[in-house]
Chains A and B, each alone.
Chain A
Amino acid sequence: MAILEANGLTKRFGGLVANQDVTVKIEKGTITAVIGPNGAGKTTFFNMITGFYVPDEGDILLNGKSIKGLRPDQIAGRGITRTFQNIRLFKDMTALENVLVGIHTRLNAGILGILFNSKKVRQEEERARVEAYKLMEYVGIEHIANEKAGSLPYGLQRQLEIARALATNPEIILLDEPAAGMNPRETVEMTDFIRRLKRELDLTIILIEHDMKLVMGLSEYIHVLDYGRKIAEGTPDEIRNNPAVIEAYLGKSATEAS
C-alpha cells in the first residue's frame, strides 16, 4: 500500500490555479522527485501535503487515513516533516537548540515541572540533548552545536535544517531543493546523504529539485508538474524519454536545467 496518496489536489489563489487535479502516490521507503519548471506548482504541492495550504479539492491520505484539513503541527505530529526552499532556521538559537525544537513534541515537560525543575524534566532534557547531539553527529555537523544558527554558512544551514527535520522522528521527509546553491562536491555529498537517509533510517523521501543530474541519479520515481498539472510520472528513464516532458520542460529549458 502507498504510504502517502494525494488524490486530485486542486489549489486556487484568486484567479490563479496553482495546482489542478494533481494525483500522486508515494510508496513507502522510496525516493520520489517532483520536478517541473519554475512556477509549476511544486512548492504549492508540498505546502498542501504539510498542511500549510488546505486544498480546495481532493484529499490527502497518510497510510490510508485522510490528513486533509489538519494543521501543519498536527501533520508533523503524524510523521511528515519538511525542509524549506529558502532555509527557515530559528536564527537566534544555537544549532543544537534548533534540533531540540524538533524533539519538542516527544517531550512532556509541563509548566509546573519546568518551574520546579523536577527530576523527570531534568532527565528528559538531558536525554533530548544527547539525542539532538547524536543527530548532529549523524548529519556530520556536531562541531557547530553551540554556534548561532543564523551565523552559519549556507551549506551547514541546509544540513542543520535536515537534522532538525529528522529530530521530529518522521516517516516521510519532504526536501524542497536540498542542493540549491551548493557546489558540485557538496551536491554529491548531499546525494549520498539522502540515499543514506533512505537506507539507514527507512525514510520515505520526496524532493523538489532543479538539478537534473541529481534528480535522475537519485530518485526512483519522478512526477512532473507543469502549469499546476501533472503531465507525467515514471522512472527516471521513462521521464527522460517522455515527449510531453521534453516539450514542456527539458525541451524549453534543457540548458538551464543541466
Chain B
Amino acid sequence: MLLSILPQVLVDGLTLGFMYAVVALGYTMVYGILEFINFAHGEIFMVGAFVGTEVLLIADAMGSLEGMNPYFALILILVVAMAVTGALGVGIERVAYRPLRGAPRLIPLISAIGVSFLLQDLVRFTEAVARNEFYLNSPILFNGSVNLGIATIPQKALIVIVIAILMMMILSFFVNKTKWGIAMRAVAQDQSTASLMTINVDRVIMLTFLIGSSLGGATGVLFAQNYGTIDPYIGFILGLKAFTAAVLGGIGNLRGAMVGGVLLGLLESLAGAYMGPLTSGAFGAEYKDVFTFSILILVLLFKPEGLFGEAVKEKV
C-alpha cells in the first residue's frame, strides 16, 4: 500500500519542488549580491499568483477566455504577472531597501519584514474592495492528465515542471553568457572592485530584483494554476520554504537553489505521505512543516554553506 502511492507522491513532490526552486532563485540572487534576506520575496510570489488569476478572471468575465488557446492564455498571464511583479520588486528595492544600504544589518531586514506584511494586507484590501472576498478560485487552463502506467500526471503539474525548467535554463544562459549576467556575478563577488570596472552597481542590483521578482511572480501563476485556490498568505510559508531550499543548496549559488528546491519538495512530499504511517499515526502530515523547518535548522547548524556553496570566510 505504501509503495503504491509512491509515484504519485514523487510527482507531487517534484511539482512542489520546482516551484520552491524558482522562488529560491530570487532569494539566492539577492542574497548573493547584497547579503540580505529579501523577506518580502514570498509576497512577490503571492502578488504574481493574484495578478495572473485576476487576468484570467477578467478575461473570463468578458467572455474571451472561452475560445482562447490555453497555451496562449498561459503565456499571457505569465507575461502580465512577470511584468507587474518585476516592477513591484524594483520599486520595493528603490523605496524600502536602497536608502538603507550601509545601515546596521538588522535595519533593512526589518524594513523587508514590514514590506512583507504590508503587501499581504494590500492584496487582501484590494481583493476585498473588488470582489468582497480575499481568496480567489482560479480557472484552470489545463484539466487533462497524462497516464504513464504507474502514475497519472496531471497536465497542470507537467506545465509547472516544464515552465520552471525553461525559466531556469533561460536564467542560467543569461547569467553565464550575457554582458549583464556577467556584471551581476562580478558585483556578487566584489562590489567595490566591480564599480571600479565601470559596472553600475545600482543598475545591477535593480536588474537582480527585476529578474528575481518576475521569476517569483511567474511561479505564483504556476501555483495558482496547479492548486486552484489562492489567498494573500500563501507567499509567507512558501517563501520560508523556498528560502530553506536556497540555504539547503548553498545561498548565493544558483545551481544550489535549483537542486535544493527540488530536493526539499520531494522530501516534504515524502514526509507528508509517510510520516503518519511510519509512526503509526502519532505524527502525521500535520508535522510536515516541522519537518521542513528542522531541515533548515540542521543545515544551518551542520553545513551552513549548503550543498553547493563555498565556506565563506568572515572579514576580520
Contacts and interface: CB of A to CB of B under 8 A. Distances in A.
Interface of A: 13-14, 43, 47, 52-53, 84
Size bracket of the B interface:
under 10
A14 B316 contact: no
A51 to B, nearest CB: 11
Contacts of A43: 316
Contacts of A84: 316
A131 to B, nearest CB: 28
Interface in B299-316: 310-311, 313-314, 316
A84 B316 CA distance: 8
B316 A13 contact: no
10 contacts: A13-B311, A13-B313, A14-B310, A14-B311, A43-B316, A47-B316, A52-B314, A52-B316, A53-B313, A84-B316
A47 B314 CA distance: 11
B169 to A, nearest CB: 27
Interface in B280-316: 310-311, 313-314, 316
B221 to A, nearest CB: 39
Nearest to B313: A13
Nearest to B315: A86
Nearest to A46: B316
Contacts, number: 10
Given A14-B310, A43-B316, A53-B313, 7 more contacts: A13-B311, A13-B313, A14-B311, A47-B316, A52-B314, A52-B316, A84-B316
Contacts of A52: 314, 316
A14 B189 CA distance: 14
A43 B314 CA distance: 12
Contacts of A13: 311, 313
A13 B315 CA distance: 12
Contacts of B313: 13, 53
Contacts of A47: 316
Contacts of B314: 52
A47 B313 CA distance: 11
A29 B78 CA distance: 71
A95 B310 CA distance: 38
Pick the most buried of B310, B311, B313, B316: most chain A CB atoms within 10 A of its CB: B316
B239 to A, nearest CB: 30
B190 to A, nearest CB: 14
B125 to A, nearest CB: 39
A165 to B, nearest CB: 15
Contacts of B316: 43, 47, 52, 84
Q: In the A-B complex, list the 6 residue pairs whose CB atoms are closest, starting with the nearest.
A: A47-B316, A52-B316, A13-B313, A14-B310, A43-B316, A84-B316
Contacts of B311: 13-14
Nearest to A85: B316
A203 B313 CA distance: 30
A86 B250 CA distance: 29
B160 to A, nearest CB: 36
A14 B314 CA distance: 14
A84 B310 CA distance: 26
Interface in B138-197: none
A52 B316 CA distance: 8
Nearest to A84: B316
Nearest to A47: B316
A236 B169 CA distance: 60
A22 to B, nearest CB: 17
A84 B313 CA distance: 16
A13 B310 CA distance: 9
A14 B313 CA distance: 10
A13 B305 CA distance: 13
B299 to A, nearest CB: 20
A52 B314 CA distance: 9
Nearest to A16: B313
Nearest to A50: B316
Contacts of B310: 14
B316 to A, nearest CB: 5
B188 to A, nearest CB: 15
A53 to B, nearest CB: 7
Nearest to A13: B313
Contacts of A53: 313
B262 to A, nearest CB: 26
Contacts of A14: 310-311
Nearest to A176: B316
Interface in B29-65: none
A58 to B, nearest CB: 18
A19 to B, nearest CB: 13
B305 to A, nearest CB: 11
A13 B314 CA distance: 11
B56 to A, nearest CB: 48
